[in-house]
């Protein structure tokens, strides 16, 4: 019963303040995140690949908060999550189970664009995925198989895709 109540509360919270941005790993739910984040930039400074950017002034209450734009620079799924470790306010927290419960965004595949569905061999996305087959595998014909339960939404596959624009994209959840 408790899980149902938590899920209903989460859905109500998301309707009040839906996410407009992909947040760094370990981000609190959007209303809490906006309240806790001091816009200090420590998480962006801690990111070894400089994937964390800040929301523009036009973002209203979210202005200056950290976000990811994986189509530009993907999160590389650092083992120790330095961005979340650097956050002193709790807006970002390293989950107890590490990356296992992180889902920053939902991965989608455009099979019309993906060259493997048009007869060409590829598999670059699956080989580039830092999570591995838990998130993105290839079927027996060499086509990508997305596994939502294992995908963290980092975007490495999006930026590694050989099609222009990418056959893969991330959707904010």
DSSP secondary-structure letter at 60? G
In this prediction, residue 71 carries a pLDDT of 84
Whether 103-171 and 2-99 are alike in CATH topology: the answer is yes
pLDDT digits (tens, 9 = 90+) for 87-107: 999 999 999 999 999 999 999
Quote the pLDDT of residue 4. 46
pLDDT bracket for residue 20 (50, 70, 90):
confident
Mean pLDDT within 39-60: 97
Could you name the CATH architecture of 103-171?
2-Layer Sandwich (3.30)
Residue range 71-83: average pLDDT? 95
Q: Find the mean pLDDT for residues 64-68.
A: 98
Residue 9, pLDDT score:
46
Give the domain ranges of the chain: 2-99, 103-171
Asked if 24 and 94 count as a contact pair (C-beta separation under 8 A), the reply is: no
| Exposure string for 39-54, b = 16+ CB within 10 A, e = fewer | eeebbbebbeeebbbb
The whole-number average pLDDT for the span 52-61 is: 95
> Mean pLDDT across the stretch 11-20?
55
Per-residue model confidence (pLDDT) at position 8: 43
Q: Could you tell me the pLDDT band of residue 45, with boundaries at 50, 70 and 90?
A: very high
Find out whether the peptide bond into 165 is cis, omega within 30 degrees of 0. Answer: yes
In this structure, which topology does domain 2-99 adopt according to CATH? Alpha-Beta Plaits (3.30.70)
């Amino acid at each position: 019963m408790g899980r149902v109540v938590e899920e209903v509360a989460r859905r109500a919270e998301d309707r009040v303040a839906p996410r407009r941005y992909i947040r760094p790993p370990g981000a609190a739910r959007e209303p809490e995140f906006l309240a806790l984040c001091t816009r200090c930039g420590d998480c962006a400074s801690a990111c070894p690949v400089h994937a964390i950017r800040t929301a523009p002034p036009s973002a209203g209450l979210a202005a200056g908060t950290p976000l990811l734009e994986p189509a530009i620079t993907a999160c590389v799924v650092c083992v120790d999550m330095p961005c979340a470790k650097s956050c002193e306010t709790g807006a970002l927290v390293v989950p107890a189970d590490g990356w296992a419960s992180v889902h920053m965004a939902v991965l989608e595949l455009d099979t019309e664009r993906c060259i493997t569905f048009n007869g060409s061999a590829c598999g670059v996305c699956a080989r580039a995925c830092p999570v591995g087959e838990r998130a993105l595998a290839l079927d027996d014909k060499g086509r990508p198989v997305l596994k939502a339960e294992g995908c963290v939404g980092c975007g490495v596959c999006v930026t590694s895709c050989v099609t222009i624009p990418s056959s893969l994209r991330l959707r904010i959840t």
